[in-house]
Homo-oligomer: A and B are copies of this chain.
Amino acid sequence: MSEFRQNPANRDWIILATERAKRPDSFKSKEEKPKKPAHDPNCIFCEGNETKTTDEIWADRGNTKPNTPGWKIRVLPNKFPAVSVNTPIDRTIEGMYRKVCGYGRHEVIVETPIHNRCFGNMPENEIYGVLITYKMRLIQLMKDPHVQLVMIFKNHGKRAGASQEHPHSQIIAIPIIPNHIRNEIDAGRNYTDDNGTCVYCDMLKEETKNATRIVLETKYFVVFEPYASRTPFETWIVPKRHDASYEHVTDEELFDLAHALGTTMAKLYIGLDDPDYNMMLHTAPRQEDPADYYHWHIQIIPKLSTPAGFELGTGIYINSAIPSESAKFLREIEVKNEDIVAH
């Protein structure tokens, strides 16, 4: 029988639709994916096209000049930003409605000059470079006292909303806290009020004890398929050390995270044939750091199903993959060195 499952970290329900349950390997991509070149002269994020992008905010480069070749990672202002600092920070009333000027920052992190790399086939030292760039930008953006929340995310593949094929992440810093985040904060705080412990720390204890939903465990991180996974192969990476904000992640932890994230992505890449996915880094809003009831973490949501009217109307996702089966499938995928930088 199918069942409703609740995620204690946000109190959201899902339906695990066992009547519709599919074997893990049935989620493998059926589309023929065209082979991507290592360098695409028409791609604005490829080396040689630096002048076609906005001017870089920061780059990991040697003795080369800004906006020229010779870089490993570039941080750029988004060319079509959703928010901008060139606006007052005004709250206004328009009739009965509230609006806030679109203040904020919208940046793009070009993760590598190599067009056909992705987290699924990238050497760990390169992933480490991206992860430390996330941290650096988060700290920098949080220096602006108007910024309340920074969302770092990655859209991989067209179905996941990526408009550029070249590997990149995005950062949007905003001056408001939306309902969705409030809900997560409130659920965490209520849990801590009731139990005296952090809900994420308790999930790690539960998951490592139960072990069926674990994909991977490293020195500092646990990778697992949540009990109330919204979609097939939803995957969370949670640090063992309690901390509300990614701003405080240590270098040793980041090296380990590069391994945990790289291996997870390689398993998804091999097991599901490079699925499209969204990756979100949940880190505490300004007012919730430090907090004993919030715990930064990474969520990966492969685009293997289409949320439809029921999901939009109720917020309840119908998931046709059993989390423990997906976890077993991923656990059993061996990642060999030659899988990394396969192209």
User: Which residues of A approach B to under 8 Å, CB–CB?
Assistant: 1-6, 8, 10-13, 15-20, 80-84, 86-87, 94-102, 149, 151, 153-155, 158-162, 170, 172, 174, 176, 178-181, 183, 202-203, 206, 209-210, 227-228, 278-282, 299, 301, 306-310, 312-316, 318
Name A15's contact: one of B8, B19, B102, B316 (CB within 8 Å).
B102
Given A15-B83, A301-B312, 16 additional A-B pairs, CB 8 A: A2-B84, A5-B98, A12-B178, A18-B102, A95-B206, A96-B203, A96-B206, A149-B314, A153-B313, A160-B306, A161-B308, A174-B316, A280-B312, A282-B313, A299-B312, A299-B313
CB atoms of B1 and A178 under 8 A apart: no
Q: In the complex, A227→B99 CA distance in Å?
A: 10
The oligomer's copy count stands at 2
CB atoms of B181 and A2 under 8 A apart: no
CB atoms of A176 and B13 under 8 A apart: yes
Q: In the complex, A170→B95 CA distance in Å?
A: 36
Name A81's contact: one of B19, B94, B162, B179 (CB within 8 Å).
B19
Q: In the complex, A313→B172 CA distance in Å?
A: 11
The list of the 10 closest CB pairs from A to B, nearest first, reads: A180-B315, A161-B308, A153-B309, A2-B102, A280-B313, A161-B306, A278-B309, A4-B100, A6-B98, A155-B308
Q: In the complex, A80→B90 CA distance in Å?
A: 50
| Residue ID in chain B nearest A312 by CB atoms | B278
> Which residue of A5, A102, A151 has the most chain B CB atoms within 10 A of its CB atom?
A102
> Which residue of A10, A81, A180 has the most chain B CB atoms within 10 A of its CB atom?
A180
CB atoms of A8 and B98 under 8 A apart: yes
How many whole Å from A16's CB to the nearest CB in chain B? 8
| Residue ID in chain B nearest A305 by CB atoms | B161
Name A160's contact: one of B18, B100, B172, B309 (CB within 8 Å).
B309
By a CB distance below 8 angstroms, the chain B residues around A97 are 5-6, 8, 206, 227-228
| Residue ID in chain B nearest A78 by CB atoms | B19
